[in-house]
């Protein structure tokens, strides 16, 4: 049986980033992915990269990730397609004090964010109707990137530095070892022994962790992305509307993407309906037109749906769940942009090195202790 110091299950952006940082630190992990890198939810992500977080640790991680996306080619030899657009956040009047406090903290962290009252919003963004909005925030450095390119960049670099890829093979059994780590049974009948294991399997993390004795309170939700054509209308800036519960970002010059900021019911991740439904495109179109009336002339192009792996407080679940068995999951619809810099902390955790002290808050034991982390604003927990 082959033996590895680290076995990573899943090559979404989290598994790929952990592999990248582990190999930078001299480790030689095996990465086991049953489809292809970014073949799961990562590849279907809207891939908005913002550091507008209420949680200070995640704000710092997102800030550092955006810096990595910008310098991706130097790090990995590949362009992650990062496009800086800036991002406008709209909030109802009840959020004024919280947003002002949060914007102050973000600026202290070097995340340049402007606090905008309604008069300033109306002056700067004349295409918008600010009915129901009490305050805005504008993050100058936010943007989006290409999730498949970014994941492949991290993954390929890890392989160049000595990681072993096992692509197209699923982990079908995880047998924890008394000495720590686990023996992983793969879908081709082979087995690998791993001194430590990192489960980064997104919505499929729970059944794997259960085999190590950890019942994590994670569930999957189906979320859609609607794609529209500007069709000659004046493009509007990327924005997230917490009053109406949607976001919009440009995609190239012709298109924009839009989706929901609100929770959905739990679903079975193995029976996903990946197509967008007419009523979903209509739900978001109605809100878009309320906010930006001239978008009535935009055209529905297409769309898709994929999965969020959601934790009870909508914050990531990261930590050791059995001796030598770790998880990095539960990213709750906002984990794409965290991955490049978070992977460094995850790699340190797996190697038993000191991590940023902020990481400990994300250990799944918080749920056993009845603790949850604050996240976002009201139902828009996704803002983290
Ligand atoms: C529609 C949508 C829009 C989103 N928009 C944003 C956004 O704008 N910004 C943002 O930051 N985040 C966004 N997210 C969230 C973000 O994409 C996720 O948080 C992130 O991609 C999770 O990455 P991951 O590596 O943890 O998991 P995944 O991408 O789920 O990867 C897990 C991998 O594990 C593999 N796997 C599972 N089980 C096994 C097994 N037994 N054996 C081997 N391999 C296995 C899967 O095939 C998969 O490739 C969005 C997500 C979706 C679905």
- Ligand 1 atom at minimal distance to the Cα of residue 41: 29
- Average pLDDT rounded to a whole number, residues 216-234: 97
Question: CA separation (Å) from 380 to 85, 119, 240, 247?
Answer: 22, 24, 10, 11
Q: Which residues of 187-220 are buried (b: 16+ CB within 10 A; e: fewer)?
A: eeeeebbbbbbbbbbbbbbbebbebbebebebbb
Say whether both 50 and 96 belong to one domain. Answer: no
- Average pLDDT rounded to a whole number, residues 55-63: 97
8 Å CB contact between 166 and 31: yes
Total number of domains constituting the chain: 2
Identify the domain boundary among 258, 288, 310.
Answer: 310
Q: How confident is the model at residue 262 (pLDDT cuts 50, 70, 90)?
A: very high
Query: What are the phi and psi torsion angles at 79 (to 5°)?
Result: -85, 130
- Average pLDDT rounded to a whole number, residues 260-287: 96
* Predicted local distance difference test score (pLDDT) of residue 51: 98
CB proximity list for 195: less than 8 A, separation 6 or greater: 3, 4, 5, 6, 180, 181, 324
Query: Using H for helix, E for strand and C for coil, what is the string for 113-146?
Result: EEEECHHHHHHHCCCCCCCCCCEEEEECCCEECC
Compute, in angstroms, the gap from residue 120 CA to the centroid of ligand 1: 37
pLDDT at 269 over 90: yes
What is the residue with the minimal CA distance to atom 2 of ligand 1?
A: 45
Compute, in angstroms, the gap from residue 146 CA to the centroid of ligand 1: 14
Q: Which of 204, 218, 222, 250 has the most ligand 1 atoms within 8 A of CB, as the residue to mutate?
A: 204
- Average pLDDT rounded to a whole number, residues 215-219: 97
The answer to whether residue 71 is domain-embedded is no
- Ligand 1 atom at minimal distance to the Cα of residue 151: 25
What is the average pLDDT value for the chain, to the nearest integer? 97
* Predicted local distance difference test score (pLDDT) of residue 384: 81
Q: Give the model confidence (pLDDT) of 316-359 as tens digits.
A: 999 999 999 999 999 999 999 999 999 999 999 999 999 999 99
Total-model pTM = 0.97
Q: How far apart are CA 56 and CA 52, in angstroms?
A: 10
- Average pLDDT rounded to a whole number, residues 359-381: 92
The answer to whether residue 70 is domain-embedded is no
* Predicted local distance difference test score (pLDDT) of residue 104: 98
Q: How far apart are CA 244 and CA 246, in angstroms?
A: 6
Say whether both 10 and 100 belong to one domain. Answer: no
Compute, in angstroms, the gap from residue 314 CA to the centroid of ligand 1: 14
* Predicted local distance difference test score (pLDDT) of residue 369: 84
What is the residue with the minimal CA distance to atom 48 of ligand 1?
A: 40
CATH of the domain at 18: 3.50.50.60
Task: Decide whether any atom of ligand 1 lies within 6 Å of the 166 Cβ.
Answer: no
Q: Which of 41, 151, 267 has the most ligand 1 atoms within 8 A of CB, as the residue to mutate?
A: 41
Say whether both 353 and 298 belong to one domain. Answer: no
Q: How far apart are CA 227 and CA 211, in angstroms?
A: 39
Q: Give the model confidence (pLDDT) of 151-205 as tens digits.
A: 999 999 999 999 999 999 999 999 999 999 999 999 999 999 999 999 999 999 9
* Predicted local distance difference test score (pLDDT) of residue 140: 98
CATH of the domain at 102: 3.30.9.10
């Amino acid at each position: 049986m082959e033996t590895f110091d680290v076995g990573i299950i899943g090559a979404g952006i989290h598994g790929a980033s952990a592999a990248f940082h582990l190999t930078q630190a001299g480790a030689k992990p095996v990465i086991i992915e049953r489809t292809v890198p970014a073949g799961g939810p990562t590849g279907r992500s809207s891939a908005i990269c913002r550091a507008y977080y209420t949680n200070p640790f995640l704000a710092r991680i997102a800030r550092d990730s955006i810096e990595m996306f910008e310098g991706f080619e130097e790090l990995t030899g590949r362009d992650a397609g990062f496009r800086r657009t800036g991002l406008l956040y709209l909030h109802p009047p009840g959020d004024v004090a919280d947003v002002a406090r949060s914007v102050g903290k973000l600026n202290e962290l070097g995340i340049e964010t402007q606090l905008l009252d309604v008069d300033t919003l109306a002056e700067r963004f004349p295409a918008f109707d600010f009915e129901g909005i009490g305050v805005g925030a504008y993050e100058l450095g936010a943007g989006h990137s290409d999730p498949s390119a970014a994941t492949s960049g991290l993954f390929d670099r890890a392989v160049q530095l000595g990681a072993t890829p096992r692509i197209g093979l699923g982990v079908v059994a995880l047998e924890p070892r008394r000495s720590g780590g686990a023996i992983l049974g793969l879908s081709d009948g082979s087995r690998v022994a791993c001194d430590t294991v990192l489960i980064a399997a997104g919505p499929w993390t729970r059944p794997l962790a259960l085999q190590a004795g950890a019942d994590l309170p994670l569930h999957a939700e189906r979320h859609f992305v609607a794609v529209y054509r500007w069709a000659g209308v004046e493009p509007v800036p990327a924005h997230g509307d917490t009053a109406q519960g949607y976001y919009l970002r440009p995609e190239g010059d012709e298109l924009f993407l839009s989706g929901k900021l609100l929770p959905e019911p739990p679903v079975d991740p193995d029976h996903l309906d990946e197509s967008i439904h007419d009523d979903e495109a209509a739900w978001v179109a109605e809100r878009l037109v309320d906010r930006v009336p001239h978008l009535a002339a935009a055209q529905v192009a297409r769309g898709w749906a994929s999965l969020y792996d959601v934790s009870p407080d909508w914050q990531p679940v990261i930590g050791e769940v059995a001796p030598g068995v770790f998880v990095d999951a539960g990213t709750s619809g906002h984990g794409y942009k965290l991955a490049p810099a978070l992977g460094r902390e995850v790699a340190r955790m797996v190697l038993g090195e000191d991590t940023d002290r902020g990481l400990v808050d994300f250990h799944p034991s918080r749920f056993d202790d009845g603790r949850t982390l604050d996240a976002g604003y009201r139902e828009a927990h996704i803002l983290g």
